[in-house]
Amino acid sequence: MVVANIVVVGSYVVDLMCRTPHMPKPGETVLGGPFKMGPGGKGGNQAVAAARLGSNVTMVTKVGIDVFGDEAVRNFEKEGINSTYVTRHGEESTGAALIAVDQDSENMIVVALGACGKITQEDVSDAISSFDEANIVLIQLETSIEAVEKSVHLVMELNKPIILNPAPYQEFDEELLKGVTYITPNETEATLLTGVDVKDENSAREAAIILKKKGVKTVIITLGKQGCFVYDGNDKGRLISGFNVDAVDTTGAGDAFNGAFATYIARGFSLDDAARQANAVAALSVTKVGTAPAMPYESDLSSFLKKSNS
């Protein structure tokens, strides 16, 4: 088996999650529970997802000099993730995500980036040797835009493939898209990037064509339980169907997808097969509570796919 060497540049935040019977209205206090705290952040979640599927993962992020930062480093080590380029910020605290999950397993999230919002170009440049050794580099927008821009430029110079997960959406120089190998927005992010109201296969195709024209080589738009739409310009694109599961907590499903897609595309899987594997990993992740702790192992994935095919 080809082992994927993946570098993840992005966020680590501590997840502070509480169940709620319904989402509070402005000014309303809701009695909820239970409460859980654990490792999170889109970058951290994607790194764990890839590592649990057997990838060699290096994380590039920044945390505070605080108890949450200590826990971040311990968690990366526990998951077998290289934390050489996890730096500490002397003034900013480790980031935090405030997550509410309702009885329908839908979620609302507020993220305070803290230290991971202060990743600098120098921090990224210091990690260049890890980029050189990588099969693929995975980047999100849940950090400083200067870190995103520097990462894309460095990886382009090294002629390595890049996955850009444009989440959470924030404005950036769209010239960067010309250096992106794969872009993986969800419906909301694809809508913000293109102006197309993405909600199904046809609207996803329309948005994907626009993103392709902006310079991205391959577009993968995630569509929740519908699956994902893939488009590389060689045909009209196609919907890769999702998997039906009993969802408990949808938080982190996109991160599961991205970590898995990076793993399987780096191993040499075809675009469609890598997307299908990623759909399955995302489906498995929503059957458990939490983000990083809910990421499945490759043995879980194998069992799930065998049952799905039976």
Catalytic residues: 255
d(CA 268, CA 291): 27
d(CA 133, CA 20): 44
Give the residue carrying structure tokens 């889109």.
42
180 in a known ligand binding site: no
78 in a known ligand binding site: no
36 in a known ligand binding site: no
44 in a known ligand binding site: yes
Closest among 136, 122, 123, 168 to 50, alpha carbons compared = 136
15 in a known ligand binding site: yes
CB atoms within 10 A of CB 206: 15
244 in a known ligand binding site: no
Ramachandran angles phi, psi of 36, nearest 5°: -135, 145
43 in a known ligand binding site: yes
Three-class SS state of 99: strand
> Amino acid identity of 236?
K
Residue 149 to residues 133, 139, 153, 167, 202: CA-CA distances in angstroms?
A: 20, 10, 6, 15, 31
242 in a known ligand binding site: no
Strand runs labelled E in 118-262 = 136-140, 162-165, 182-183, 218-222, 227-231, 238-241
141 in a known ligand binding site: no
258 in a known ligand binding site: no
> Amino acid identity of 157?
E
54 in a known ligand binding site: no
Residue 189 to residues 54, 79, 199, 283: CA-CA distances in angstroms?
A: 29, 29, 11, 20
195 in a known ligand binding site: no
254 in a known ligand binding site: yes
Binding residue ranges for K(+): 249, 251, 285, 288, 290
Binding residue ranges for ATP: 186, 222-227, 254-255, 279
Binding residue ranges for substrate: 13-15, 41-45, 142, 255
Binding residue ranges: 13-15, 41-45, 142, 186, 222-227, 249, 251, 254-255, 279, 285, 288, 290
